[in-house]
Amino acid sequence: MRNSRETKADSYFSCSDAERAAFEAGIKLGTIYHQFVGVPLSAENVGTLEKAIEAGSRVQPFVEEVRVRIDRSKLKKKRGQYDYVSLTGEMLDVTLVVRYKSVKVKASMRLIKEMNYPLMFIEEIENK
């Protein structure tokens, strides 16, 4: 059941349902990247951060699934108070599913080694 705010928001989008779903997926990936890159990270808190990113993303509109993995090979054991790394985009491996009306979009962000870049992209668009 759609509420009046959802109906009102729909009036601002001049696009197909598939384009809207893709837009929503891109917003979610961009939010993850720009909100969490730079967070202090260690081997001791990496799992907690993955869960926090997933939980925060799930409350956003239209999100059905989220999976976040952080590349642990870049982490190191703390040897002192000032010894930690900061999360980078290259460390993130994220997959999410957004459903807008009858359209489901699976989108991901991960390091593409041959590009040396954490790319955000659409893996699949499915009309139900």
Runs of H (alpha helix) within 3-120 = 4-10, 17-36, 46-58
Does the model's pTM come out above 0.85? Answer: yes
77-107 pLDDT, tens digit per residue, is 767 777 789 999 999 999 999 999 999 999 9
- Contact partners, residue 41, CB within 8 Å, separation at least 6: 49, 70, 75, 84, 85, 86, 87, 91
- Asked, for residue 92, whether it belongs to a domain, the answer is yes
Write out the residue range of the structural domain in which residue 101 sits. 15-75+83-127
- Asked, for residue 10, whether it belongs to a domain, the answer is no
- Asked, for residue 2, whether it belongs to a domain, the answer is no
- Asked, for residue 96, whether it belongs to a domain, the answer is yes
CA-to-CA distance for 36 and 124, rounded, in angstroms? 25
The total number of structural domains in the chain stands at: 1
- Asked, for residue 1, whether it belongs to a domain, the answer is no
The CATH number given to whatever domain includes residue 41 is: 3.30.1300.20
- Backbone φ and ψ of 61, nearest 5°: -55, 135
